[in-house]
Amino acid sequence: MEMELGESESRPKQAHVELAKTGISSATIKVCNNFGDATPVWATCDSNGDCDLNNSTKTTTNWKIGIKIEATANSPTGYIGEPAVIVATD
């Protein structure tokens, strides 16, 4: 799953992701601050949902926050809720 979550005039430099998961054996969460670019720069979040967004370039007017979630379900009813991302900007 990959989606845009919003935009900012100031560069997002850190992110914290909150994500409800049920029946998921593993999940990788990545966040980028240049989601509108042809080649977004993704940062992998740690097990607490935190990541540093070191990218400092974009091709769009505003910075765009994107999230990518790759998960493996351990049951047929595996569920991932809508993510919430809190960012710190310059």
76 Cβ neighbours under 8 A, 6+ residues apart: none
Q: Say how far apart CA 53 and CA 60 lie, in whole Å.
A: 17
Question: How does residue 11 score in pLDDT terms, banded at 50, 70 and 90?
Answer: very high
pLDDT tens, residue by residue, 22-75: 999 999 999 999 999 999 999 999 999 999 999 999 999 999 999 999 999 998
Q: Are 80 and 20 in contact (CB under 8 A)?
A: yes
pTM recorded for the entire structure: 0.93
Predicted local confidence at residue 4, as pLDDT: 96
